Structure 1
């Protein structure tokens, strides 16, 4: 690949990557495909920032490399529903000028990033994956997460695909079609942040936004071998308010824990439009990326390990990978106990809350518009209309009981480890694996949605691969407000079992 430079003189991609490798360690630099030279698209956000600071790489080169990767791979993956190369290059040139002056705008200046198509983005349509959304605009406002990225200097390259109204744990729909997994194009990347996950996994930008109302960050992170965290509810401000209420979280998706922590620190800042947002975290939540001693990060932690979360069916290959990952924490000096938080079966209660949200999200559609909806979405919207206020309050009562149990559980255990998802990626275009045909996506997402109900921070990090080469995710759950602790555990595992050098 030939790289164009806006600096005096030129340097090829290999030289730039070599400098970043020297600064951050060879093990952190991903490998290109066999026979393919590595490009700036294969670098993490941290590596890009180091290269910008040393002058060995320009944001223009990085953004060009990402746009070339999108042009090459997006037709197969369908990760992006909108790409704006001219605007991205203009922003990259402005970033390069700031770096030359030694005046970067913020912590992510010049880093390519993408926005899930549920977050408002000034000047770009936000269609939420729905054929019923108006494309006319006006599009005059950024959501909080978009605004914080823009203020930090991140270069926004486009918007990523989502199922219609982000309603399910896979990514396909009438508007944008089927999104595919870069590890195996016949399989789904998960959802609803499947476009973001596929983009990050394939090198179409190191950072992307995600939302998670029942697993929509952690499921695709697990299926595509990337990192994602659902922060404590309210830590990242959300606007417009989600129809799914306090189930819905916004969070970062990235290839590495360091990038995930850096992005979380950027987006977890105040915004007056979210009346329920928490105070921003204490400065330094992103500094976990600077830690290099895995044992120091988790030594003495009291960690619970629940392989089935009370009896969920888990694919043996997933169970094996997760058990091996849990053993790493013991090796690092954590006190690991196999135990279970004894949560009640909450699937039906979650349905009441989730389907009611879908009913609200589709309120006001005409009969013709309803006929155009994803059939599954239309079905649960109709079911959501049948619930009474008593049904909703009963579901909320169970939710409060779950929160009480988890609060007591975490008085004895600093963290909880589980599989992120009990299965690996299955056939693209299906809502559920073939063996669960006819079931809603919640039938196989039982490790994720309970922690939306309790509003706890929960992350998925890659912990291995099946013999077929599909990624497996480890879920790390902490008590409310313990986001830094979750990040520390994820970082310790990343140091002990690095994964960034293995790519689709």
Structure 2
């Protein structure tokens, strides 16, 4: 089977430019991607549901529109992946659990519907850990997902299938969800751009039950900042049915992408609470900070001016109660793994006072972060405290040879969800052997455009590889 060398790693912008010029058609692109998925997905297990007939039909209609010089938008004919925690009409939403194995939603969730209305082509659903509540991608229903940069390793989670699919060349971008870093950490493990919008920026309708209230958001995963913005501008239009969304200016980004004032004040937080950070990760983030200084910005290095421990416990109470609510009228015994059976039982005992107290702790955290942004324009951290660990394992066992408890690598991301702030992971300097490392930038609430402008400025001056090299043996 021959697969076009270039098509799987063209950006969305490059694809639509080729459609407009008559150099490519959506039908030909989708044919190449289907062949690539069929050949290479068994090696990484990123895609867990797809309908190739529907893909071909949608691509054919898009081809007709481009031939008639009447595309629906500048997204028409762009293939995209959807995380298996977001509803897509015609495909199952299993949520990584046997409890939802037979669930087929009747409607697209609003962001999917908007991309389809713009002419986008749904490629398929991407694997997740059960209920998207873990930082690796492995479940009893669909199995283990692997990292295209090294199939021995995990892509992280919970958007592990989505990042693996984009990094493998199955589509130029994906829709993911992020409740505590589920877009950003996996993006950092796979050399991609992962953007978590401000809470409420992307309206949500026709969705799965919320486990962690408004702290989970939908955002784009892409190879380039420009593609992330292209996707975001479609899905982030306010909708009066989701009242949070109407408080935001639109479009998200104003002016030429990458335009940002000099001298932004950036606080670099290299570690939280003394937890270890992998030596290569730390070195990469420091070098990325040096690059930002060379672009004219001001970096200050200091300890985190807030403590994540209190709201971490509160977040746990909310998620357990949310999970119990999901199964209030749905059978779960024998259908969920033991750890989530225990979480459901624990959630059933959370009192109203405990829940209200947890919300109050998180409200205080938002105030604390707002005061920090009175002194700095942006915060900078590693996207994760470690490099990927072996696929199939729940977590890393040690960092720099020091034994650690599970999940300690993830402390850098959750505070942005708790506070509702926008955050982005972009590739920084790679390891000595070329493996990607991401760093995170966090902006004040609603300052999504500032992040995207700065990320594009960094990308333009320090470009990163957009081809993982996965599937080299499949190339002509």
TM-score (norm 2): 0.92
* Cα offset, 1:451, TM superposition: 1.1
Range 392-401 or range 276-285, more displaced: 276-285
Choose which of 387, 390, 395 in structure 2 pairs with 1:424: 387
User: What aligned pairs does 1:74-473 form with structure 2 within 5 A after superposition?
Assistant: 74-133=41-100, 135=102, 137=104, 139-239=105-205, 240=207, 241-279=209-247, 281-283=249-251, 285=253, 289=257, 291=258, 297-344=260-307, 345=309, 346-366=311-331, 369-435=332-398, 439-441=405-407, 443-473=408-438
Shift of 1:140: 2.2
The answer (yes or no) to whether the contact 1:456–1:478 under 8 Å persists in 2 is yes
Please give the alpha-carbon distance, in whole angstroms, between the structure 1 residues aligned to 2:339 and 2:372: 36
Contact preservation (8 Å) 2:155, 2:189: yes
Deviations 1:383-409 (A, max 9, x none): 333333232223222212221111111
In the aligned structure 2, how far is the partner of 1:420 from the partner of 1:169? Answer: 13
Residue 323 of structure 1 and its aligned partner are, at CA, apart by 0.5
Deviation at 1:364? 3.2
User: Which ranges in structure 1 are unaligned for 5 or more consecutive residues?
Assistant: 4-12, 14-37
Match of 1:57 among 24, 35, 46: 24
Q: 1:129 and 1:94, CA in 2 relative to 1: closer, same or farther beyond 3 A?
A: same
> C-alpha distance in 2, partners of 1:267/1:249?
12
Query: How far does residue 350 in structure 1 lie from its aligned partner after superposition?
Result: 2.2
Distance 1:323 1:196, change over 3 A: same
Q: Distance in 1 between matches of 2:371 and 2:79?
A: 41
Equivalent position SS for 1:49: helix
* Cα displacement (A) at 1:363: 2.9
Root mean square deviation of aligned Cα: 2.1
Check the 8 A contact 1:265/1:286 in 2, yes or no: no
TM-score, normalised to structure 1, is 0.87
Shift of 1:2: 5.9
Equivalent in the alignment of 1:26:
none
C-alpha displacement of 1:63: 1.2
Whole-Å separation in 2 of the counterparts to 1:284 and 1:215? 21
Q: 1:201 Cα shift?
A: 0.6
CA distance in 2, matches of 1:228, 1:95: 27
**1:92-128 deviation per Cα after TM superposition (whole angstroms, max 9, x unaligned):** 1111111111111123100111111111112222221
| Contact map agreement 1:417 1:476 (CA 8 A) in 2 | yes
Note the C-alpha offset of 1:271: 3.7
Output one character per residue of 1:69-107: Cα deviation in whole Å (capped at 9) or x when no partner.
111111011111112111111111111111111111123
Q: 1:51 Cα shift?
A: 0.9
- 8 A Cα contact 2:423 2:440, kept in partner: yes
List alignment gaps of at least 5 residues for structure 2.
Answer: 470-476
Q: Which one scores higher on RCO, CA 8 angstroms, separation ≥ 6?
A: 2
Shift of 1:412: 1.7
Deviation of 1:468 (Å): 4.8
In structure 2, distance between residues paired with 1:133 and 1:308: 38
8 A contact 2:191–2:466 mirrored in 1: no
Greater alpha carbon shift after TM alignment, 89-98 vs 270-279: 270-279
Q: 1:177–1:2: structure 2 CA closer, same or farther, 3 Å change rule?
A: closer
CA–CA separation in structure 1 for the residues paired with 2:435 and 2:179: 24
Distance, in Å, in 1 between the alignment partners of 2:427 and 2:457 is 13
- Contact 1:148/1:269, CA 8 A, preserved across alignment: no
